[in-house]
Structure formats: C-alpha cells, structure tokens
Amino acid sequence: MKCRKCSREAVIFQQYSGLHLCERHFTINFEARAKRAIRKHQWIQPGDRIAVAMSGGKDSSALLYFLTSQFGARRDVEFFAICIDEGIAGYRDPAVAERIAASRGVPFYTVSFADAYGLTVDEIVERRGDAVSCSYCGVLRRHLLNRIARELGATKIALGFNLDDDAQSVLMNVLRGDLDRLVRPTAPVEGLVPRIRPFRVLPEREVALYAHLHLSGFEEEGCPYSHNALRADVRTMLNDYNYRHPATKFALVRLGEELANLGGSIASSLHACEECGEPCTDVCRACQILREFEGK
C-alpha cells in the first residue's frame, strides 16, 4: 500500500484512523501526537531535570530517543536515565540501557534491588512462588525509582507507558472494583516525583515501530514471570476486543482521565513512612514486603 500523504511505500496501517503511512509521515505523526500530549499536560517546563526510567526495552528506549531528539537542544531542560535492576536472571541487563543512554548523550545511573533491599525478584519467586512476583516487584520498583530520582534532583520522571498500558490499567481497576484507583487524581504530593507519560496516546505497536525505525540494540524479551499477572489476561482480552472495535483503548484512557477528574486530592491521605521516609498511605507497602522477607 502507498502512504496516504505521499507516494512512498507505507510501513503501517492505523486501523483506528484509516491511514496508511510511510516511514517519514509515520514519524511525523507519532512525534506530533506525543508533543501534543506534553503541551496538553504541561509535562515539560523550563528548569526541569527529567529522569527517564530506562529498562533497555523498546518503550523506554523509544522514549529516551524521542525526548532527546525533540528537546535535547534546549538548555533549560536536562535529561538523565535511571535503570532499576530487579534481579531476574537472564532478563534485565543494565548494560543494554547504558549503551542506549550513551548513544543519546545522557548521564546514566543504575541501582539494583540487591543493593537497595538485599533482595531480588528471583529470591522472592524462590520463597513465595511466581504468583505474587509482579505485584511485589511493581511496589518495590516504584518505591526505589522515586527515591533515586529524588536524590538525583529530578523534577519529573518520564515513563514509557503507552496507550495499551494505560487502557489495561483502567480495565484492571474496573475488574478489581478498585474505585480508589479509578478516581485518584494526579495532584502533587510532597516527596513524590511527578510522572510524565508522553506515549500514553500512542498504541504499543506504534511505539515498537518507532523504536525499530530509529534505534537498535534494545531488549525485546518480556519478563519471564509476567504470565501470571492479571495484566497478561487483560492484555489478551483487550487486544481481541480492540481488533473488532479499534477505538476501545482510546475510550478507556479517556474514561480513566474523566474519572480521575471526579476524585478529590489524595495528598492529605499520604504521609512519609517512619521507616523509609517515602510517601505512603496508611501502610507503606514496600516496607511491609521487606519485613515479610526479613521474617518480622
């Protein structure tokens, strides 16, 4: 098929828009939508020092490329990369993320669960099985990422979450009946570094194509423990439904935004944990997990 914008060969068909796009016009379309999301939410401001959460996979690598190519020339904005090594044998190699960060000319920092917690995800699985690995890993990873980013002076943390990720999260909260998460707004919270997600309006397959067109050497294997996560079931179900109804993921993300606008501020319900100092609700889940594995 030919590109709708020119006579070149198309590299993608956007089912939801009906457009066939060549490499050049796909890149223009992709970057324009990500920049529109940044302007809408005012995610990048003069003086920002932005930590890009780098896994070495396609999403975070594409995000680092996009941010540095579009905003890297600005003297009033800084970027650096943080890689969290959860301790999963054969899965996470910080050297991959470091090479990509070096190719984009940004400082790179890495920290491991083993150094920060004295515990790895492989050890969690060995002692508790892999049914709980994703929930435990997610809590500890977010906890550590926030602390390291804050200590390094970050004003924002950029995450490579895409449209599929956000749509899945909304549907997961519906299936769990988790009203608190559905109506939780993104109000500033002391000690919690604000998150930005420039790719939240872009489907996963388009982020993957963008990464393949502009980068090389990123990791493509998924986590070996992710098959037990609720997200894996929701992804399969949502992809099947979205194939027949192409606007579904966009609708879910809009629903999530509208529900969050209905909620009140959660800032008053958060406080600094007495043990680790990180923001938490009534119970610091990260410290609770660590106490569990210390036998307390």
Give burial (CB, 10 Å; 0-12/13-18/19+) of 75. exposed
Helix ranges, 215-267 (H): 230-244, 248-262
> Do 256 and 166 meet the contact criterion of CB atoms below 8 Å apart?
yes
> Do 100 and 83 meet the contact criterion of CB atoms below 8 Å apart?
no
pLDDT at 296: 46
The tokens 């070149």 sit on which residue? 8
Cα 207 to Cα 225: distance, rounded to the nearest angstrom = 23
pLDDT at 267: 46
Dihedral angle computed from the Cα positions of residues 208, 140, 269 and 230, in that order, rounded to the nearest 10 degrees? 50
pLDDT at 262: 77
End-to-end CA distance of the chain: 63
Dihedral angle computed from the Cα positions of residues 30, 31, 36 and 41, in that order, rounded to the nearest 10 degrees? 110
Rounded to the nearest 5 degrees, what angle is found at the Cα of 200, between the Cα atoms of 266 and 168?
Answer: 75
pLDDT at 178: 83
Residue 238: name the closest of 143, 137, 140, 167 by CA.
Answer: 167
pLDDT at 39: 97
Packed helices 133-151 and 285-294: angle between N→C axes, nearest 10 degrees: 120
118: region left, alpha or beta (phi > 0 left; psi from -120 to 50 alpha): left
List 19's β-bridge partners, or say none.
14
Q: Which CATH superfamily is domain 34-294 in?
A: HUPs (3.40.50.620)
Packed helices 133-151 and 121-128: angle between N→C axes, nearest 10 degrees: 150
Q: Along the chain (296 residues), what's the average pLDDT of each consecutive run of 10 residues?
A: 93 95 97 97 96 95 97 96 93 92 97 95 88 88 96 97 95 88 73 94 97 92 79 92 94 91 60 86 87 75
104: region left, alpha or beta (phi > 0 left; psi from -120 to 50 alpha): alpha
Tokens of 66: 């996009």
> Do 23 and 37 meet the contact criterion of CB atoms below 8 Å apart?
no
Collapse the DSSP code of 235 into the 3-class scheme (helix H, G, I; strand E, B; otherwise coil) and give the result: helix
CA–centroid distance for 51 within its chain: 12
